[in-house]
A and B are shown apart, each in its own frame.
Chain A
Amino acid sequence: MTNNLRHDSSYRDPSGHVFVENNTIKRVIFPSYFPQYNKLKNSGFFEKAFQHKLLISHEELQNTETEIYIQPEQIPFITYPYEWSFQQYKEAALLTLKLQKYALQNGFSLKDATAYNVAFYKGNAIFIDTLSLDFYQENTPWRAYKQFITHFLGPLLLSKYHGAEFLKTMSNFIDGIPLKMIASLLPKSTKLNPFLYTNIHLLAKYENKHQEEDVKATKQASLSQKGLFNIIDSLYNYIKKLQLKEQSEWGNYYQKTNYSDKAFTQKSKIINNWIQQLNAKTVIDVGGNDGTFVREINSKIDLALVGDIDNNAVDQNYYAVKKNKETNMLPFVIDLLNPSASIGFQNTERFSFVKRVKEFKPDATLALALIHHLSLTGNVPFENSAAFFASFSGHLIIEFPKRNDSYATRLLNAKAEFKDQFGHYNLENFEKTYTNHFQLVDKKEIPDSERVLYLLKNKNA
């Protein structure tokens, strides 16, 4: 197991790294981290943290004098911070604080606190970087404090004041939003809030003032454990209550504006039959809104990825996941016209959405009430959208709103004098182009609507 391939995102921490062997994620630990690892294991901390669902569980594969190998529980699909909704982002932040407090109570401390240490799995945020746990040393401040602010508090605050779209900028700041930027983008009034003044403005000022000095002076910085608990508790309380300015009330978000009740029922019935016919266990709904149609599926689904461009819809979906304690639904924010790119060193640290979804290979892809947005709002030709769907889906369930559908008409009218150039947006062209990549398995008109549902099978799958 020594000649393993190190995962491209796992080079920052010298204590060990992640590698992939036979499509399984494993982790090698080096002797420099043995004391921590053994203490975490023998004190029962690992076991307790697994049971509290704070830390991803792992089993030890091999333990030699030079290397320890562990295999964490495998997470089928990773979403990144810039694909989280506001409430998901909050949960990730709160989980990090919760784990840090629990670690401190047991004599440990998180040595880093990046948003990439958290993943969503079985309906909850979970900490996935096992090697982030280090010994706590009496009277030392939290090493990862600044990281927590630039990865969590900063982005959350900026979303509160400027909208949840701000979270997407995390893809440009892989090491967190720079402190100066957070401080300068926040309204002046935040300086009057003692919590925000100290955690953001004063921190930015101190960092600026001391940036040229020798790091060794850190040894002078001291903080009692009580003080540390105060910081963590106050961060937790503040973030827990944080709400977006534009936040709408929780509740039934799905708007059936284009559907009569009959059309809605028929549509979900058709989808249900097809999903059962395919015996699909993994599903991706690429324009899934708040997950309404995935929840209407009666057969057992192992994992449903439900993406939507609207942060608010994803928040609603996430709220339903929490309330119903669903473990097989993963909501995330995605703009299909500009899906997350590969980022980081050599562009290989965080994978693009397309790469991840290709690896995930869902049994069925749902694209409901989406094609008119891609084709008319995004001007994406049928040929290109068909090729996109064909690149990762074995089966595609796609809904086509005809030209006289009220929403499609609205989008066409918005084209004003260019409306004539969108004559290609019709059922015949759609079928003709999509059947270049897919075989038409079934086709059903949704009663009481101007929409048609297609079940397509990938010709190359």
Chain B
Amino acid sequence: MHFLYFDAGLGAMLVQALVAIVAGVVLFSKNVMFKIKTIFGLHKNTSDQDVFDDINIDDSQIENPSKDDK
């Protein structure tokens, strides 16, 4: 069920197919570059300056995940 309470934009909906393809290529090539740099030890460690973590959420971090929300 969708509530069309604001205009998502038809162009914006259609263009996502192209955006996704390019994003896939970019992600893939970045990944390859990262591996190459790691092999040659060129990877710069910037974690000291970084306050933002990865996008992926690790569910195992939750202590006693409850199945039902009271």
Segment 18-55 of B: residues with Cβ below 8 Å from A = 18-27, 30, 49, 51-52, 55
- Contact-residue size bin, chain A (C-beta under 8 Å from the other chain): 35 or more
A227 touching B16 in the complex, CB below 8 Å, given contacts A90-B52, A198-B23? yes
Q: Which of B2, B7, B17 contacts A134 (CB 8 A)?
A: B2
Answer whether residue A15 sits at the interface, using C-beta atoms and an 8 A cutoff.
yes
Q: Which of B2, B3, B27, B61 contacts A230 (CB 8 A)?
A: B27
| One of A97-105, A297-305, A333-341 contacting the partner | A97-105
Q: Which of A98, A112, A203, A222 contacts B15 (CB 8 A)?
A: A203
Please determine whether A111 and B3 come into contact, CB atoms closer than 8 angstroms.
yes
Q: Which residues of A are found within 8 Å of B13, using beta-carbon distances?
A: 141, 143, 145, 218, 221
Please determine whether B26 and A195 come into contact, CB atoms closer than 8 angstroms.
yes
Residue of B nearest to A45 (CB): B69
Please determine whether B51 and A323 come into contact, CB atoms closer than 8 angstroms.
yes
Distance of A13 Cα from B15 Cα, bound (Å): 25
Q: Which of A15, A209, A223, A233 contacts B17 (CB 8 A)?
A: A223
Q: Which residues of B are found within 8 Å of A444, using beta-carbon distances?
A: none
Q: Which of B19, B21, B49, B61 contacts A199 (CB 8 A)?
A: B19
A237 touching B27 in the complex, CB below 8 Å, given contacts A42-B69, A223-B16? yes
Chain A interface residues (CB < 8 Å from chain B): 12-15, 32, 35-36, 41-42, 44, 46-48, 51-52, 54, 87, 90-91, 94, 97-98, 101-102, 105, 111-112, 134-135, 137, 141-147, 149, 194-195, 197-199, 202-203, 205-211, 213-215, 217-218, 220-224, 226-228, 230-237, 240, 250, 319, 322-323
Given A141-B12, A233-B55: 17 more A-B contacts, CB < 8 Å: A44-B65, A44-B69, A52-B57, A52-B61, A52-B62, A98-B57, A146-B9, A203-B12, A207-B9, A210-B11, A217-B10, A226-B20, A230-B20, A231-B20, A234-B23, A237-B30, A240-B52
Chain B interface residues (CB < 8 Å from chain A): 1-27, 30, 49, 51-52, 55-57, 59, 61-63, 65-69
